[in-house]
């Protein structure tokens, strides 16, 4: 049975790498895939991994119709055995419904990859719809780690290494950015709640939002 699968995890846990590996494995067996992404850090029309691999992809915008595109592709004699969709958190909920329709009505596997929550721990609308509709949600096995060594579960946004909690939901960016720039850092929940990034923990500065410590 064809499936809609959501491969999810924090930033920098290997989602795009897995997307590229899955495409490689399927195409090595003669299957043909359609690859989509939106706002990859490497630029328009590219699906890229921090390991250095990348591939061409169709860039998705708000008005893009997945179902219409795949039907058009098949009608014009094209083949599609599977669909890979990276940065799926940026898709609209309606586009996730279209992907489910590709699975159910066209019998094509759809593998979607993305982060679930934003820098404020809120679900991205596209990810929420994926959780609602996917046949399976797979959490990646390679765990990104917090600076303390615990499994990272949250995506913090940083400015100059300090965690921020105000701003637009979507700001394209990367982990390990230079001083002063907007970037991201993956943290365990404990350190996310304390706003304790690697930089702030090194300097011993804790956020005023740190929970009161019982002195007794």
Ligand X SMILES: Nc1ncnc2c1ncn2[C@@H]1O[C@H](COP(=O)(O)OP(=O)(O)O)[C@@H](O)[C@H]1O
Ligand Y SMILES: Cc1cn([C@H]2C[C@H](O)[C@@H](COP(=O)(O)O)O2)c(=O)[nH]c1=O
Cα 58 from Cα 36, distance rounded (Å): 5
Both tokens of residue 59?
């860039």
Residue 142 binds ligand X, judged by CB under 6 A: yes
14 binds, among ligand X, ligand Y, none (CB under 5 to 8 A by kind): ligand X
Cα 73 from Cα 92, distance rounded (Å): 21
Both tokens of residue 174?
């990367």
Site string for ligand Y, 23-42 (x = CB under 6 A): ------------------x-
Residue 16 binds ligand X, judged by CB under 6 A: yes
185 and 195 Cβ atoms separated by less than 8 Å: no
What DSSP character marks residue 214?
P
Span from 5-13, 63-71, 96-104, 181-189 in contact with ligand X (CB under 6 A): 5-13
Q: Does the annotation count 132 as an active-site position?
A: no
Which among 56, 87, 105, 181 is annotated as catalytic?
Answer: 87
Among residues 12, 23, 109, 185, which is the contact residue for ligand Y, using CB under 6 A? 12
Residue 38 binds ligand X, judged by CB under 6 A: no
Residue 139 binds ligand X, judged by CB under 6 A: no
Among residues 13, 80, 134, 187, which is the contact residue for ligand X, using CB under 6 A? 13
Pairing of strands 109-114, 4-8: parallel
82 and 31 Cβ atoms separated by less than 8 Å: yes
What DSSP character marks residue 89?
G
**What is the closest distance, in whole angstroms, from the C-beta atom of residue 75 to ligand Y in the complex?**
32
Span from 20-28, 136-144, 170-178, 207-215 in contact with ligand Y (CB under 6 A): 170-178
Cα 47 from Cα 107, distance rounded (Å): 24
The catalytic residues are: 87
């Amino acid at each position: 049975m064809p499936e809609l699968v959501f491969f999810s995890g924090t930033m920098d846990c290997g989602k795009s790498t897995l997307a590229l590996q899955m495409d490689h494995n399927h195409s090595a067996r003669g299957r043909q895939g359609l690859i989509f992404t939106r706002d990859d850090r490497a630029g328009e029309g590219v699906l890229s991994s921090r390991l250095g691999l990348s591939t061409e992809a169709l860039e998705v915008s708000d008005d893009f119709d997945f179902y219409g595109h795949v039907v058009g592709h098949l009608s014009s004699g094209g083949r599609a055995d599977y669909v890979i969709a990276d940065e799926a958190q940026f898709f609209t909920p309606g586009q996730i419904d279209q992907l489910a329709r590709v699975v159910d009505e066209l019998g094509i596997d759809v593998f979607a990859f993305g982060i679930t929550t934003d820098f404020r721990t809120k679900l991205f609308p596209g990810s929420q719809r994926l959780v609602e509709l996917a046949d399976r949600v797979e959490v990646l096995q390679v765990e990104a780690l917090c600076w303390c060594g615990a499994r990272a579960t949250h995506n913090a946004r940083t400015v100059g290494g300090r965690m921020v909690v105000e701003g637009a939901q979507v700001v394209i960016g990367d982990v390990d950015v230079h001083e002063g720039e907007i970037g991201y850092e993956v943290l365990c929940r404990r350190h996310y709640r304390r706003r304790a990034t690697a930089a702030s923990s090194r300097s011993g500065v804790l956020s005023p939002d740190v929970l009161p410590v019982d002195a007794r």
